[in-house]
């Protein structure tokens, strides 16, 4: 999962570089980057839903379970926002409003980056603690 985080950060940085440009890149370049970001993010979220959260919630430690539940609930909103963003910004919408896409995408990049940082600092150490106790 930490490898997923590293890859997601790499993809988000590349996307940030693209949206800092005054004009849209080639459609295929942006499509490939968005596809890679979405597929990596979806696979990561599924792993969290199927492996990480069930393990933390069933840890037997009320504090760990509460933190995991809060993170899990919060992620639903961010995942929905990401899906809405990708649905709204089709290739034609991006071509018609590059500046608007860049502004909206900066918000998504910031939200995902903050989430990954928080998981690395707050959530994954809980998993490490459980592994050491096992």
Q: Is residue 77's pLDDT more than 90?
A: no
pLDDT tens column, 101-127 = 999 999 999 999 999 999 999 999 999
Calpha distance 102→71 (Å, rounded): 27
As a whole number, mean pLDDT of residues 66-70 equals 93
* pLDDT value, residue 74: 83
Calpha distance 95→38 (Å, rounded): 20
* Contact indicator for 28, 16 with CB cutoff of 8 Å: no
* pLDDT value, residue 4: 96
Q: Is residue 73's pLDDT more than 90?
A: no
pLDDT tens column, 21-61 = 999 999 999 999 999 999 999 999 999 999 999 999 999 99
66, two tokens: 């509460």
Q: Where are the domains of the chain?
A: 2-133
3-state secondary structure the chain: CHHHHHHHHHHHHHHHHHHCCCCCCCHHHHHHHHHHHHHHHHHHHHHHHHHHHHHHHCCCCHHHHHHHHHHHHHHHHHHHHHHHHHHHCCHHHHHHCHHHHHHHHHHHHHHHHHHHHHHHHHHHHHHHHHHHHC
* pLDDT value, residue 97: 97
* Contact indicator for 55, 130 with CB cutoff of 8 Å: yes
Q: Is residue 89's pLDDT more than 80?
A: yes
Neighbour count for residue 121 (Cβ, 10 Å): 9
């Amino acid at each position: 999962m930490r490898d997923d985080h590293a890859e997601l950060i790499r993809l988000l940085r590349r996307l940030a570089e693209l949206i800092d440009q005054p004009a849209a890149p080639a459609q295929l370049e942006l499509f490939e980057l968005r596809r890679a970001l979405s597929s990596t993010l979806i696979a990561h979220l599924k792993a969290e839903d199927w492996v990480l959260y069930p393990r933390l919630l069933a840890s037997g430690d009320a504090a760990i379970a509460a933190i995991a539940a809060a993170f899990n609930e919060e992620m639903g909103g961010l995942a929905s926002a990401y899906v809405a963003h990708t649905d709204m910004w089709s290739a034609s919408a991006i071509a018609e409003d590059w500046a608007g896409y860049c502004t909206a995408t900066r918000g998504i990049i910031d939200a995902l980056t903050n989430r990954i940082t928080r998981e690395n600092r707050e959530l994954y150490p809980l998993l490490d603690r459980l592994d050491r106790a096992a």
